[in-house]
Amino acid sequence: MTILTASPLLDRKGDFPGMAGDWAYLDTAATSQKPQAVIDAIARCYGPEYATVHRGVYERSATMTLRYEEARATVARFIGAATPDEVVFVRGATEGINLVAQSWGQRLQAGDRVLISALEHHSNIVPWQMLRDRAGIIIDVAPLTDDGRIDEDALIAMIRPETRLVAIAHVSNVLGGVADVARIADAAHAMGALLMVDGCQAAPRLALDMAALGCDFYVLSGHKLYGPTGIGVLWARAEILESMPPWQGGGAMIDTVTFEHTSYAPSPARFEAGTPHIEGVIGLAAAIDYVESVGIDRIHAHEAELVRRTRAALAGINSITLYGPQASAGILSFTMAGVHPHDIGTILDEAGVAIRAGHHCAQPLMKLLNVPATARASFGLYNSADDVDRLVAGLARVTRIFGIKP
């Protein structure tokens, strides 16, 4: 095996306490490590600055409320939203998609159609199946190209007058391919359908602009964006949010309550019942500030180069099959003939290399690829060419242990 070495495009590993020690963390698509700036922001929020939001009239509560809403404005700026009121805080992308399915989806009837693709995460499959079982909608599935991207020509041809929603991943969490969201949005709108985009893997590495993308819903998870777990974002166009009923009842989402009748607050408060994840919101804003200080385009270029180097190092190994397009966004899945991905992951872990092995919450895609699972290396801004070297050396050890000719 050829070991590739070169100076890293970025050198930010020292900003991440979780990257300390002798290991190569290559599982950023599952969850990212957190920079010290995010950890500090959360610690201050839990410590000397802590108070509730939207309720207290005392100074610290008012200050925390201001910071909370400033964080909403930070998210809006980062994704190119027209106004902060289009930003709804949720627990993560999964909850955001379920919110759309259970609130906006109430208008769907038997015979209405939702179009997804064959590479979707379970979070963009199961909520629509639940709606199908409840309301009788029909789910259509668009195929993939030979190199593992959404076949956009086929998808667009599948949009019918009965299609109410197209729901696709901006970046595949398994194959790393990037969808042309703007093109798909134009095609969906031309047929009277809306477009929802799963942006979990896109937000940490692609510049976002909701107006330019032209979609109607967009979801992301903070923990994949160098922020904390338990916080995410649902963005939707203001007029769509205002047309949607609440999906959870409780405090903060109401206007007035009597035993006879309740009126609801305008969005986004209508969709944020209960005491919010204050620390998560503050931590997410700190993560966005950190990412913007590095530069999202630099991060994407850095990760794309690491994927290119990894592909080049593994392409000549006959026992390894690489999946996905050549130009992928920070993610590379592969298999090794005669070795289960779980065994690959275990042996790599012994060498201090952390990858993901499994179906990656995309079992229908695994079936399409005709494999039970894949091994996946996914990169972040803290990775370097040295991590690629360690991955390649670790895979060489796998071949020796299993007696496989490379």
Closest by CA position to 171, among listed 312, 315, 319, 300: 300
Q: Is 361 a catalytic residue?
A: yes
Q: Which of 45, 200, 215, 361 is catalytic?
A: 361
Six-digit token pair at 87?
């930003």
Strands 331-336 and 374-378: antiparallel
* Angle subtended by helix axes 278-294 and 36-46, to nearest 10: 150
Q: How far is CA 346 from CA 87, 153, 274, 287, 356, in A?
A: 40, 40, 42, 31, 10
Q: Are 227 and 283 in contact (CB under 8 A)?
A: yes
Residues 205/300, Cβ–Cβ less than 8 Å: yes
Q: Which two tokens stand for residue 13?
A: 């590993």
Q: Cα torsion for 257, 262, 268, 274, to the nearest 10°?
A: 50
Catalogue the E-assigned strands of 27-142.
87-90, 113-117, 138-142
Dihedral sign for Cα atoms in the order 118, 124, 127, 131: negative
Q: Catalytic positions, please?
A: 361
